Structure 1
Amino acid sequence: MKALILAAGYATRLYPLTKEYPKSLLKVKNKLIIDHIVDKLKFIKELDEIIVVTNSKFITRFREWESGISIKKQITLVDDFTKNNAQRLGAIGDIWFVLKKNQIKEDLLVIGGDNLFSGGLNKFINFAGRNKPNVSIGLYNLKNLKDAARYGVVKIDNTNKVIEFREKPQNPASRLVAMCLYYIPRRYLKLVKDYIRIRKSTDATGNYIDWLKNRVDTYGFVFKGSWYDVGDHKYLSAAKRNFA
């Protein structure tokens, strides 16, 4: 199994903090966001490689980070060769870029580089293993219904199968939302290319999951504890205050 950390965005909503540093290399609770993620990934025994996709603007920063990290898993940095926000490939575009460039043919765990959540990943991996060869995604119950409008809102049945997905609805009907955390078995990796070809879209991962669930049974694992999607100053400040 491979893990792919998406860290190629330009985080313009976090300017000026992210003009010179990528969002994943900002600190929360005296630890880099990416280190919070890697510290969870290193305990997944099935995982043999952690791939971090970034861009030409920040690749040097990530090389500096990599040189100082000590972990038994292989770390691979991938430059998507974009230099500014206007050139960005988008999350789905970056997933496909890495699939092609690194010729990945194993199960893939995709995680957003701004995902902060308490607890580990092993329960999610076990859940995904039980549901193979289907797709599994991470879900979280927000405290505030209004905040759900920022995310993909999900409905699951009593088997945890995703039966409805609405990307950023104006009036969310549920507090259950999708995290940027996906377990994609190798047999379905090719669908990333199909989605780009059919939809002509490479950005919002939620739209991809909405499309995917109609082609592949997709199951949602509900995380407990705390979760922060560090997308702007408000949520970064909240994470710095409350994340544990």
Structure 2
Amino acid sequence: MEDIQVWGKEDSGMFSVSAAYECLTKHSADPQSEVYNILWKTKAFPNVLMTAWRALRGRMPTRQCLSRRGVSMNSMLCPMCQLEEESSQHIFLLCKYAQRVWSECFKWVGTSTVQHNDLKMHFLNFYLFQATNKQNLIWKGVWVNVIRCIWDQRNLIVFQQGVVDADEIFQKAQLKSWLWLKHRTHSFNYSFSDWVLNQSSVLEVLSNKQAVVFIPWMMQRQKYGLMHSNLGFVGEV
């Protein structure tokens, strides 16, 4: 009997490009690629998601990163705490001011958790067990907004001689997450004070009592007009 070649990934034994691609991606994919799949589903403005994506990939221009690229630095210390070398892990997770912000996040919804020192694991574990998947995409929107607001505060200190304020970072993250919901969903009719003071009940309404209908980006711009670019919109104030 003559030997024949058989493609073992298909029941028919016939080679297909799609099966080969699936096989390659399964073996070559980053074990933590789930992080990025979840990230792009997270409910936040595009510029906020891009900042979080760069942070998760270790691409933020921290002092450690710039030094490795050959940029001469006057100081390697974290601009916020002035205690440790500024790396992505430090500025976003280990800095005492960053830790205070993350603690405020969990205090906000009346829970607590062990906080990981790895950014990807921290993102994946920023999760409310009592919440639905839809709720947790909104909750992860808070995570990415915290990352963006920490970086904005860091830049304010570096370039404009600002003063570090953990409460301000947290409040701005709350505001950004509220603005996304206000302008990107039909069913979100809560004031900012409701969002801040009654977070758990708002999340419950969003997932269980009302259908959340997300407004496409271009429709949103036409409906609400153009707002400040720091909040994810571009155009006139």
TM-score > 0.5, shorter chain as reference: no
Q: TM-score, normalised by structure 1?
A: 0.26
Higher relative contact order (CA 8 A, sep 6+): 1
Q: TM-score, normalised by structure 2?
A: 0.27
Largest Rg, 1 or 2: 2
Higher strand content, 1 or 2: 1
Higher helix content, 1 or 2: 2
